[in-house]
Structure 1
Amino acid sequence: MSIRGGACWSATYSKQYGADRWKLLLNALAEVPTQLAFVAPHISYSAVRYLLRKPRFVPCLIPNCFSYDAGRKVPETDSKCAGGESAESVTPDPRVQLPFDQNMSENVAIVEDEHVAAEAMAKTYFLDGASALAGFILGARPGEVVLDMCAAPGGKSLIILSMLTQAKVPACVFGNHSMLSEADSVENDDETAGLLVCNDISRDRLARLQNTLNKFLPPYSTAGQRLQFSCADICKGGPFGTPKAHAERQLKMLLIASKLLKKDGILLYSTCALSELENDAVIEKFLKKTARNIKVLPLFDGEWPAEVKLLEGKGSGLCKTTEHSDSSIMFFVEKLKYGYAMLPDVSRFGPMYFCRMQITGH
């Protein structure tokens, strides 16, 4: 007797991850996802200060992205704003040239303003931290040409664009957190900006991105919306087919991408799939078909960022849930045979699978 629907789905992943791990992972998947906030580089100083103060955003590893620090207290001052509430002081970063109307000798007092709040909301895009990390891992640099083969566009596209243009939000110092990147800013001209090409478009995401991007060229005005499907649809062969069908399609895309890239070009394969058929199994088939022309790379060249912790896999190939006491670590990734996984029962983000590769020849 065959198992149908949700029972089939649960049985499949229970076998893959182990019964105990799957229970924890399933519960984590049901929780409200943790997100990062991408802030548009062309946002005003006032709106940035509002975000730092009111929602208590804290800059993180990824360009123009902020995490939400619920435990951070907003310092009080003796100054009063128009509404009678305490205004907050923000010290401009001395390394940054401020607009001409800023008071350079004193702290800048923030006063509540509904227009500033509206701008802050309109120019903030929320995305899963795993998606943000995927865009960051690609390591796009000014002057390069990037093809995103699975973009609506969305959060990853914003991260890639930020790295291509080196555009940053207005920099200032708030408490112990500096928003100024150590990397030197690059002028946004045609010679250095690079090019990002996206192969898909969603009406919903386009509407959300309109206030975030300065320029955007949609391919067609008749672009359709993405279909929504349930877990049970996966087992029934729903609108997007089974994991096996996904894997076959993704392998074809990888083979095409490998032929488009220059020698030494970087190919990042990432999915939000739970099935190993769509993750390491795809990479294994891809490596066999491309002979010795592909080299699998670590997520980062050289020393890993302090905010990213590598966890070695155990048992079924994925590490077990552990307690993490180091609050400075934001991303926990698990090493698999070829790639890496970020799953919400261990990390705050995901699910996401990454495999970073380099083209060594054709």
Structure 2
Amino acid sequence: MPNVKSTKVLQKRSDAALESFHKYYAGLWGEDRWHKSLFPALIESTRYCALVNRFASFSEVQALLRPLPEDKLLEIGPVLTATSSAEVATAVTYPIVLHSSTERSFPTPLNVSSAEPTSRISSHWNLDLASVLAAAMLQARPGEQVLDLCAAPGGKSIVLAQMLWPGLHADAPATDSEGTTSMTRTCLHSNESDRTRHKRLEANMQSYLPSRLFTDSAVRVVRIDASEKSALHELPLGAGGYDKVLLDAPCSSERHIIHAHLKASTAGQIAEELANWKASHTKTLAKTQAALLMTALKAVKLGGKVLYATCSISREENDDVIERTIEAVKRKHKNNTGPGQSSWEIKIDTTFEPGPESKSLVASMTESTKYGRIALPDHVVGGRWGPLYFCLMQKVPYKSKTESTSNDNI
């Protein structure tokens, strides 16, 4: 028989946590938007799109998904503005999704024919469209060495792999040797520190990618705690070894908390996720996120790019982490300018920022923040995707104020 006293105590704690939860996020987003728009949108069921596995037979995947009239196949890209380099825009092979405009759930992925005649491979991956868009923002290309720092369960790594090895797509032209010629340098290292999640990540990668990527060590699944200072020594390519890094950092995941609370309430129970929630937890997470971001920035080479993302709606875990990291890098310049030392800084990359007339997915799905953009399910023309925050940044050589002034006068 349940302990009535302990149940009442837990219920009281849960009620207090819910009140505090509302107060915290209403303070961030405004009372009106939070209570009338954003919170009600977060209550709704999470929407999914189907990321087509381009290493699998496209015709078989389409037949499996059987798109309804209101659904449409959508190529995620190009994400650059019209004024950006056409060469860059066309050099990237973008992922394709079946974008659903209904509440219909897509079927469970099945094994279908792959680019390798003797093997079969998972057909598609069901995930939030904003996640595909964010991963595509990194614009991974053949010949690059890419790191997915917090990769489990693997959806974004699958997006990156599709962009890195278009020559291995099942429907690639038979004469396309890109998959072979770039294999010697192109690589994707997907990391997850948690043992259980690491095993899941490894299994998923094996299910979705051609086996030759693993036998040739082009794809590696590693297990490193990237928040530790020792992480850089454990990464396969070490400090400054990667062209691009994706960091989808662990976060508060408020939508998960809300859904857990609603599910428990329906059953007359109390969700531990909400009962244990405290605003101070975001500060603790932000410290870990900042440590992870610093590892990502140190892992990428000068001129390389890092995409930071979370599914949090807290400014402390998003823009504040970026700002905190920028300031931390600035403080280190004085101690990092001696002989043999390289000094760098962070440049926020806005090449994907939509113009006023843009009809891109970035414009239709997201809104701008101080440093990045965020997809929110109550976005006026967004289709209820997200939440997902992302910020694209570049690691560039440090310029002192004197150097910047001199360059401005040239």
TM-score by length of 2: 0.59
Q: What letter corresponds to residue 278 of structure 1 in structure 2?
A: E
- Structure 2 unmatched ranges of 5 or more: 1-12, 78-93, 103-108, 114-120, 215-219, 224-249, 259-271, 331-343, 399-410
Comparing 48-57 and 140-149, the one that deviates more: 48-57
Aligned to 2:140: 140
Q: Which moves more between the two structures, 199-208 or 351-360?
A: 199-208
Cα offset, 1:230, TM superposition: 3.6
8 Å CA contact 1:299–1:356 kept in 2: the answer is: no
Amino acid of the residue matched to residue 161 of structure 1? A
The AA in structure 2 aligned to 1:15 is: G
After superposition, the C-alpha distances for 1:271-301 in whole angstroms (9 at most, x for unaligned) are 1111110011111111111127111111528
Change over 3 Å in CA distance of 1:252–1:235 after alignment to 2: farther
Aligned with 1:4 (options 11, 16, 29): 16
Is the aligned partner of 1:352 residue 2:345?
A: no
Q: Which residue of 1 aligns with 2:403?
A: none
Aligned-partner SS, 1:298: coil
Residues 123-158 of structure 1 show CA distances to partners (whole Å, capped at 9, x for unaligned) of 111111111011100111111111111111421111
Check the 8 A contact 1:64/1:168 in 2, yes or no. no
2:210 aligned partner, one-letter code: N
* 1:44 shift after superposition: 2.5
1:16-35 Cα shifts (integer Å, max 9, x gaps): 10112112111111212222
Counterpart among 204, 207, 210 of residue 211 in structure 1: 207
Question: What's the counterpart of residue 294 of structure 1?
Answer: 346
1:234–1:243 contact (8 Å) kept in structure 2: no
1:214-233 paired onto structure 2 within 5 Å: 214-215=210-211, 217-219=220-222, 230=257, 233=273
Residue 342 of structure 1 corresponds to: 375
Q: Is the 8 A contact 2:191 2:221 kept in 1?
A: no
Q: Which amino acid aligns with 2:396?
A: T
Native 8 Å contact 1:41 1:167 kept in 2: no
Query: 1:57 and 1:208 mapped to 2: Cα distance?
Result: 26
- Deviation of residue 338 (structure 1)? 1.1
Q: Which residue of 2 aligns with 1:44?
A: 57
The CA deviation at 1:7 is 1.5
Cα distance in 1 between the residues matched to 2:52 and 2:207: 10
- Pairing of 1:249-268 with structure 2 (within 5 A): 249-268=288-307
Following TM superposition, by how much is the alpha carbon of 1:204 offset from its aligned partner in structure 2, in angstroms? 4.6
Change in CA separation of 1:47 and 1:152 when aligned onto 2, cut-off 3 Å: same
Match of 2:190 in 1: 198
Q: 2:112 maps to what in 1? A: 119
SS in 2 for 1:34: coil
What's the counterpart of residue 31 of structure 2?
Answer: 19
Pairwise CA distance, 1:48: 3.7
Aligned pair in 2 of structure 1 residues 30, 210: CA closer, same or farther (>3 Å)? farther
In structure 2, the residue matched to 1:66 is 97
Taking a change above 3 Å as real, the CA distance of residues 247 and 117 of structure 1, as seen in their structure-2 partners, is closer
> What RMSD, in angstroms, separates the aligned Cα atoms of the two structures?
3.7
Match of 2:246 in 1: none
Question: What is the distance in 2 between the residues matched to 1:61 and 1:261?
Answer: 25
Percentage of pairs with the same residue: 31
Aligned-partner Cα distance in 2 for 1:135–1:147: 12
| Aligned 8 A contact 1:57 1:69 in 2 | yes
Counterpart position of 1:188:
179
Distance in 2, matches of 1:185 and 1:293, equals: 39
Cα contact 1:64–1:169 (8 A) shared by 2 = no
The answer for the alignment partner of 1:282 in structure 2 is: 321
Distance, in Å, in 2 between the alignment partners of 1:157 and 1:358 is 20
User: Residues 38 and 49 from structure 1, CA distance in 2 versus in 1: closer, same or farther, beyond 3 angstroms?
Assistant: closer
| Cα shift at 1:342 | 0.8
Whether 1:30 aligns to 2:30 is no
Is residue 303 of structure 2 the alignment partner of residue 272 of structure 1? no
CA offset digits 1:78-121 (Å, max 9, x no partner): xxxxxxxxxxxxxxxxxxxxxxxxxxxxxxxxxxxxxx986399
Q: Secondary structure at the match of 2:293?
A: helix
In structure 2, relative to structure 1, the CA distance for the partners of 1:153 and 1:241 (3 Å cut) is farther
> Is the CA contact (8 Å cut-off) linking 1:52 and 1:58 kept in structure 2?
no
Q: SS in structure 2 opposite 1:334? A: strand
C-alpha spacing 1:206/1:198, structure 2 compared with 1 (3 Å) = closer
Take 2:132 and 2:76, find their aligned partners in 1: how far apart are those partners? 10
Partner SS for 1:4: helix
